[in-house]
Amino acid sequence: MTRSSTTGRVHGVVESFRSFFKWRTPRRCGNVFTYTMPPLPTTRIDIRQLPVANQPDSCHLLQLPLELRERIYEHILGGRLIIIELLPGEFEGVSASIWTSYYLPVDGLDFTPIHSVFRAESAAISPQFLLSCRQAYIEALPILHQRNTFHLPADHLETVVSGALGSYCLPDIRSVYLQCSSYPHADSSYLHGDSSYLHGDSSDAVVTLLQQMNLSRLAFEFQYFTLPEPQSPWGRCVLELRNLRRLEMWGNNKDVVQKFRQLMIGPGADEKYRRFLEEQETSKSELAIA
């Protein structure tokens, strides 16, 4: 069985998120399908807390060993870049657009998200497993979260978690690619000093959500902005994220990412981070005395 034969067309990914959103009929514009949806809910229902229904004896999938079922789920639902965009909808509130672009193995550290994201029909996620029955949904949904990279704007993360993915799924997420595109004009205080904003005042909230994930890889894209230094308020928040295997940042001063990597990834990173914190405290004390 080939990967392309097990995956649907581009719009198939929408069906895999029926449990997240109530979709309306798609409209076709040229070769692109667009979807309008009701606004995102303010809370998510964890289906695992609902009563269990009896499974039919004819469900051959559930008769397979669990290990084999998990491999099937991963083949069908994993290894993609899943892009989530919040858009003004025709309903009150905020709607979302969700689609997959291409294959991106979450453990394949040789594969890096790129700035120009192209849709590939062969990478679309098939919905059948998530829609088949409650047991398959419960078994497959964590794999959907664990084995894909989620790409979205950083300032939309709270809304996407609360109204779409659900906070209970955060421990399953392994790979995130955040676009940082709503910064104020960067100045020296923002890059190096005491300003406290990231997308308004949401840096702590974003990092708090990221800390609840079991991230192995994290990517930040600063569109047309200078990367903040590690000692900046934003940098200190990001440095609190530990146990990463890969960190990517794109911006106007690409050499800064290596400073973050030395403090976050690889042998000796924790010791370097400890010394970094001590140096920051020393500098803070000296400034207070002066």
Q: What is the 3-state secondary structure (H, E, C) of 177-218?
A: EEEECCCCCCCHHHHHCCCCCECCECHHHHHHHHHCCCCCEE
pLDDT band at residue 34 using 50, 70 and 90 as cut-offs: very low
How many Å apart are CA 287 and CA 6, to the nearest integer? 61
pLDDT at 13: 36
Our measurement of the distance from residue 26's CA atom to the centroid of its chain's CA atoms, rounded to an integer in Å, reads: 25
Q: How far, in Å, are 53, 147, 157, 256, 280 from residue 232 at the CA level?
A: 52, 32, 21, 12, 10
pLDDT at 194: 39
> If residue 289 lies in a helix (H) or strand (E), which one and from where to where?
helix 269-289
Q: In this predicted model, what pLDDT tens digit does every residue of 157-192 receive, in sequence order? A: 988 888 778 888 999 999 999 988 655 334 444 444
How much is the average pLDDT of 123-139? 78
How many Å apart are CA 113 and CA 221, to the nearest integer? 10
Judged by average pLDDT, the poorest of 194-198, 200-204, 263-267 is 194-198
Q: Are 260 and 247 in contact (CB under 8 A)?
A: yes
How many Å apart are CA 102 and CA 86, to the nearest integer? 20
pLDDT at 56 over 90: no
Greater confidence (144 vs 111) lies with 144
pLDDT band at residue 115 using 50, 70 and 90 as cut-offs: low
Highest mean pLDDT among 53-57, 114-118, 243-247: 243-247
Cβ-Cβ contacts under 8 Å for 242 (sequence gap 6 or more): 264, 270
Greater confidence (118 vs 109) lies with 109
Q: How buried is residue 73: exposed, middle or buried, by Cβ count under 10 Å (0-12/13-18/19+)?
A: buried
Burial pattern 190-210, b for ≥16 Cβ within 10 A else e, equals bbeeebeebbeebbebbbebb
pLDDT at 202: 61
Q: In this predicted model, what pLDDT tens digit does every residue of 11-32 receive, in sequence order? A: 333 343 433 333 333 333 333 3
How many Å apart are CA 97 and CA 101, to the nearest integer? 13
| Cross-strand pairs, 250 | 221
pLDDT at 53: 65
Q: Are 215 and 176 in contact (CB under 8 A)?
A: yes
- List the structure tokens of 44: 């998510």
**Residue-averaged pLDDT of the chain:** 74
Residue with tokens 């964590």: 142
- List the structure tokens of 135: 């047991």
pLDDT band at residue 284 using 50, 70 and 90 as cut-offs: confident
pLDDT at 88: 66
pLDDT at 27: 37
How many Å apart are CA 103 and CA 124, to the nearest integer? 9
Share of the chain above pLDDT 70, in %: 64
pLDDT band at residue 89 using 50, 70 and 90 as cut-offs: low
pLDDT at 264: 96
Greater confidence (37 vs 73) lies with 73
Of 1, 247, 19, 9, nearest to 144 (Cα)? 19
> If residue 219 lies in a helix (H) or strand (E), which one and from where to where?
strand 217-222
pTM of structure: 0.73
- List the structure tokens of 208: 């708090």
Q: In this predicted model, what pLDDT tens digit does every residue of 225-260 receive, in sequence order? A: 788 899 988 899 899 999 999 999 888 787 899 999
Give, in degrees to the nearest 5, the angle at Cα 74 between 70 and 75: 115
pLDDT at 45: 62
